[in-house]
Amino acid sequence: MRQLIALCCCLFGLLSFPIQAAETSRVDALFTELAGAKLKHMELILEQLEEAKGEAILPLFRVLLGGDLYYIKANKNLVGKFDDQGKTLYKQVFNDTLVPNLAKRDVKKIRVNNKLRGYLRNAIARIQLTAKSPSVRESAVRELLSKLDASTVVILEDLYPNEPNKKVKEAMGLALAMHTASQTELAVSNRLVAIETLSTSLENDVRNALTKLTQDDNPAIIKAAQGALEQIAQRAKRFAFVDQLFFGLSLGSVLLLASIGLAITFGVMGVINMAHGEMIMLGAYTTYVVQLIMPNYIDYSIWVAIPAAFLVSGLMGVLIERLVIRHLHGRPLETLLATFGISLILQQLVRTIFSPLNRQVSTPSWMSGSWEINPVLSLTLNRLYILAFALLVFIALVIILKKTSLGLNVRAVSQNRNMAKAMGVKTNWVDAMTFGLGSGIAGIAGVALSQLTNVGPNLGQAYIIDSFMVVVFGGVGNLLGTLVAAFTLGIATKFLEPTTGAVLAAILVLVFIILFIQKRPKGLFPQKGRAAE
């Protein structure tokens, strides 16, 4: 408020200054009057203050209501008392700055009685309910739901018809309905209408109020309240289902990110890369290092981390392909062992450089928090973004494989290596690029995973088996199959969890896949035609 006043002064020049000054001095005079005022005079002073300062007076009223308002005997300045680890301290009421060196005997409490408390409560509600911002008004109404009384209802009834914002009006209607429903002396028909209104809400307070109504004397009311509760429970159940579905999709997106690089190296190239998990880990550590380099720009660091992780993991992939995998062409089991050795080396390398402990990667502010749809359903933003990101990466990859010349070469080499070679495709180069692409995408997955789990040397190991399961389940060499498999497994796991517990759910899914592969060894979407063996 002070800044605002200062700003006004700057803008309008000295002309407006005397008026503001007069206003300020009147308020100051009221503050001084408040210190040491008699109880019967206080209400008048408070009314004047409310009128003069509006929303800005709220902190003072709250402190006074809590019985923590004191004034300094020497200069009659107002201070708020608060406790800090057992010590009694005092601070300015309006800007929370500590007032140092105040002992108990320097200050005197401003006392309030029940009548004043009632006034203050109503005043706070009144001020909040008439606040400029609709969101403040709405949260004020929701706060009132649990402590409705006759006087606040009067205020609400006053404000209800003129409320411009639809959501706030709805909330106010809800509060009024709650009050109406609980008044036993009102006509039953009115109360039934009110209960009808209540049945559309998911608020906890509403549910409590309805539960109370099931103890009512009137059987019609009891029946209506029970019906309303049931209706609410059913809606809540539906939202709980959506919530579970969201978590399933979120797990699916993580699985998709982790396995999509593998779908290329294993699915398209037919190379078993046991170091795939370590490519993910390298991506996560790249995110960590990028944040170390630019600690003041955490919000933007992720945009640097994504390409950086792609490059780091991709180059490592190319290196592995050139040095090891190339020499083991056509010997899948040996490739498996050699890449496993590489994964051990990479893990130990990271352990030596960064220590075996988990590293903390901070979440950019725009990714933290959650999107609250209603009182029972809120979706965490980082999971939402990662879901979108996974789909984006998937689409980008499909486009690369279907529309670019690299993609054409990759498909040609994977279908018939010798023929492609005869047609002039540089198969060696294509192999390296494909492997680099798969590994690079694993690196990007690492960036996403660093936002969800701990970044440590074992990060990749946790995902390698799941990733292989996803690729095998979806059908090797089939990107769409990988997508379907990832989300199927994610959702299945999350829907099993409430009944079986997390670990048993993971085991059941694994066993299911093992059995599934026995039945359909080529996965959900087997390759057809010449590409199949």
Partner 1 sequence: MSRLTAWFSEGRSSGKHTLPFVVILLGVTLLASAANLFLPADSALYVSTYTITLLGKYLCYAMLALAVDIIWGYCGILSLGHGAFFALGGYAMGMYLMRQIGDRGVYGDPLLPDFMVFLDWKELPWFWLGMDQFWFAMLMAVAVPGLLAFVFGWLAFRSRVTGVYLSIMTQALTYALLLAFFRNEMGFGGNNGLTDFKEILGFSLQSDSTRISLFIITALLLSVIFVISQRILSSRFGKVVLTIRDAESRSRFIGYRTDRYKVWLFVYSAVIAGIAGALYVPQVGIINPGEFSPVNSIEMVIWVAVGGRGTLIGAVIGALLVNYAKTRFTAIMPDAWLFALGAMFVLVTLYLPKGLMGVYGQLKAKYRPTNAKESQV
**Interface contacts to partner 1, rule CB under 8 A:** 272, 324, 327-328, 332-338, 340-345, 347-349, 351-352, 461, 465, 468-469, 472, 503-504, 506-507, 510-511, 513-515, 517-519, 521
Give least dist CB 366 to partner 1, A: 36
Give least dist CB 342 to partner 1, A: 6
| DSSP E strand stretches across 98-217 | 107-109
Give least dist CB 287 to partner 1, A: 24
* Phi, psi dihedrals of residue 521, rounded to the nearest 5°: -60, -20
Identify the three-state secondary structure at position 215. Answer: coil
8/465 with CB nearer partner 1: 465
Residue found by looking up tokens 């083991």 in the block = 328
Give least dist CB 507 to partner 1, A: 5
449: which residues sit within 8 A by CB, 6+ positions away?
Answer: 254, 257, 258, 280, 283, 284, 459, 463
The span from the CA of 317 to the CA of 325, in Å, is: 10
36/341 with CB nearer partner 1: 341
Give least dist CB 326 to partner 1, A: 10
Between helix 17-34 and helix 2-12 the angle, nearest 10°, is 160
Give least dist CB 320 to partner 1, A: 10
Give least dist CB 125 to partner 1, A: 51
352/368 with CB nearer partner 1: 352
420/476 with CB nearer partner 1: 476
Tokens of 440: 């690079």
The span from the CA of 400 to the CA of 435, in Å, is: 14
Tokens of 351: 């352990």
Residue whose C-alpha is closest to residue 102's, from 86, 79, 83: 79
90/266 with CB nearer partner 1: 266
Instruction: Please check whether residue 258 is in contact with residue 280, taking contact to mean a CB–CB distance below 8 angstroms.
Output: yes
Give least dist CB 529 to partner 1, A: 20
Give least dist CB 525 to partner 1, A: 16
Instruction: Please check whether residue 218 is in contact with residue 188, taking contact to mean a CB–CB distance below 8 angstroms.
Output: yes
CA torsion, points 170, 172, 178, 181, in degrees to nearest 10?
-80
81/276 with CB nearer partner 1: 276
Instruction: Please check whether residue 210 is in contact with residue 232, taking contact to mean a CB–CB distance below 8 angstroms.
Output: yes
19/515 with CB nearer partner 1: 515
Tell me how far CA of residue 246 lies from CA of 152, 382, 458, 510, in angstroms.
39, 12, 27, 21
The span from the CA of 181 to the CA of 195, in Å, is: 6
Identify the three-state secondary structure at position 359. Answer: strand
Residue 362 is which amino acid?
S
182/461 with CB nearer partner 1: 461
Tokens of 38: 């008699």
148/271 with CB nearer partner 1: 271
Give least dist CB 254 to partner 1, A: 17
223/351 with CB nearer partner 1: 351
Q: Is the dihedral of CA 218, 221, 225, 226 positive or negative?
A: positive
220/345 with CB nearer partner 1: 345
112/432 with CB nearer partner 1: 432
Give least dist CB 506 to partner 1, A: 6
CB atoms within 10 A of CB 293: 11
CA angle 147, 148, 152 (to 5 degrees): 120
Q: Is the dihedral of CA 284, 289, 292, 298 positive or negative?
A: negative
33: which residues sit within 8 A by CB, 6+ positions away?
Answer: 41, 45
221/255 with CB nearer partner 1: 255
The span from the CA of 459 to the CA of 462, in Å, is: 6
Residue 225 is which amino acid?
A
Q: Please list, residue by residue across 50-63, b when 16 or more beta carbons sit within 10 angstroms of its beta carbon and e when fewer do.
A: beebeeebbebbeb
**Pairing, β 107-109 against β 377-380:** unpaired
399/507 with CB nearer partner 1: 507
Q: Please list, residue by residue across 247-257, b when 16 or more beta carbons sit within 10 angstroms of its beta carbon and e when fewer do.
A: bbbbbbbbbbb
